[in-house]
Amino acid sequence: MIIANRKNDVLRAASLLLLLLLSVLPAWACAICAPGDGRGTLSQALRQADTVVLASPVAGGAGLAVRQLIKGAPPQGLIRLPASEPRPLPVEPTALSQLLYHQGSAGWQSAGPLDASRADWLRQLLALPPVTDGSAPDWDRRLAFFVMDLESPEPLVAQAAYEEIAVAPYGEMRRLRGRLRAAWLLDWLDTPRLAARRPLYALLLGVSGEPERAPALQQRLARLRQPADAAVLSAMLAAWLELQGESGVAWLEQHYLQAPGRQEWEYQAALLALSVHGNDGQRVSRARVVKAYGDFVRQDTPLAGWVASDLGNWGRWEFDQRYAALLRSGRPQSFASRYAMVFYLMRNPKPQARALLDALRAEGAL
């Protein structure tokens, strides 16, 4: 019993954490494929480094010799990596080099293998303005720089391209229309080793702007049946809405939000897809998303509060009576849903909402 209670506590805390993260997500980040702030990418590591070089092992394993200086002051003599760092393969200096960087007192570290011909690519990468919440980088230039390197045969380059496009705001990803090939994206979606990148590639399939790809997208949607598929499902549903526009919302409601037998993770994925489009407001209007949310809230569902954060962020306070009625009814609500409804009423600027909260407290409904 103690173990079960602890498990329930963990699940409740995880649900609440997810709710809070979604409510404070930076406006520039896409909630589906970039829930963080873009830290930890290759470009971040390069900027934080004092010195960046391309180097290769010398004969006898005495160390690594610098072949290209990318940033900072050149090191004196050979470079020796800490014992914990993997040893680079002894290859020809002109064929394959190791990207290394020095970060404060941490010493030299390996960021991975890179072809020597990529030296100028690294310099251009460093010259791009950083992506931060407080700045407005040139997204067109930035995305054009990375898009052709998606799934490059060089793993480090492919990883950088994936990371940098994934942190772009959803609306900015539309700049890639005309530069993407849906056939490539469908192939990558079906490649097992790229499973971690599927949410981004699903989003980009919608951005590619080829409505004739909708049947292929539907086929892949039907295969997603496990909770581990939640992020991909959300991305594919967002892509569906991108391809279909507002007419696609009714299909999503019919097959997910109003379909009997759907699991919580499927509801969550569908609502997140709507949230991304509601926050963006270009392909699907916010008003249409609010209508879908309203229909969901009026269902007999223990998840009605999951949309409360968006409704509050958008200043849609007309759901106060419905949420108060659900809290008063005693009908079961998930922990995160109940918390979100109460928080919605607390944020609501209408005097009526304050009165509802006072009444709910007096009745012991909170």
> Is residue 96 predicted with pLDDT exceeding 80?
no
Segment among 11-25, 159-173, 213-227, 271-285 with least mean pLDDT: 11-25
What pLDDT digit, counting tens, does each position of 323-351 carry? 999 999 988 888 899 999 999 999 999 88
> Is residue 259 predicted with pLDDT exceeding 50?
yes
CA distances from 162 to 34, 65, 113, 199 (A): 11, 30, 17, 11
CB 350 within 8 A of CB 317: yes
Beginning with the edge strand found earlier in the chain, give each strand of the sheet holding 51-57 in spatial order.
64-71, 51-57, 97-102, 108-114
What is the token pair recorded at 247? Answer: 């007419």
Q: What percent of the chain has pLDDT over 90?
A: 54
Predicted pLDDT at 258: 94
Orientation of helix 230-244 relative to helix 198-207, angle to 10°: 0
Predicted pLDDT at 129: 86
> Is residue 36 predicted with pLDDT exceeding 80?
no
With tokens 């909770």, the residue in question is 227
* 188 or 360: which leads in pLDDT: 188
With tokens 């969550």, the residue in question is 268
What is the token pair recorded at 223? Answer: 């295969």
Which of 86, 133, 131 lies closest to 108, judged by CA?
86
What pLDDT digit, counting tens, does each position of 265-303 carry? 999 999 999 999 999 999 999 999 999 999 999 998 999
- Rounded Cα–Cα distance for residues 288 and 310 (Å): 13
The structural domains of the chain, with segments of one domain joined by +, span 47-119, 176-295
Predicted pLDDT at 58: 83
What pLDDT digit, counting tens, does each position of 139-159 carry? 899 999 999 999 999 999 999
Predicted pLDDT at 241: 96
Predicted pLDDT at 30: 66
Q: What distance, in Å, lies between the first and last C-alpha atoms of the chain?
A: 26
What type of residue sits at position 221? L
DSSP 210: -
The Cα diameter of the chain in Å comes to: 80
- Rounded Cα–Cα distance for residues 262 and 269 (Å): 11
DSSP 128: S
Segment among 45-49, 88-92, 210-214, 325-329 with least mean pLDDT: 88-92
- Rounded Cα–Cα distance for residues 166 and 128 (Å): 16
- Rounded Cα–Cα distance for residues 57 and 329 (Å): 71
> Is residue 9 predicted with pLDDT exceeding 60?
no
Predicted pLDDT at 41: 82
Q: Output the DSSP codes for 277-337.
A: HHHH-SSS-HHHHHHHHHHHHTSS-TTGGGGHHHHHHTT--TTHHHHHHHHHH-----HHH
pLDDT band, residue 87 (cuts 50/70/90) = low
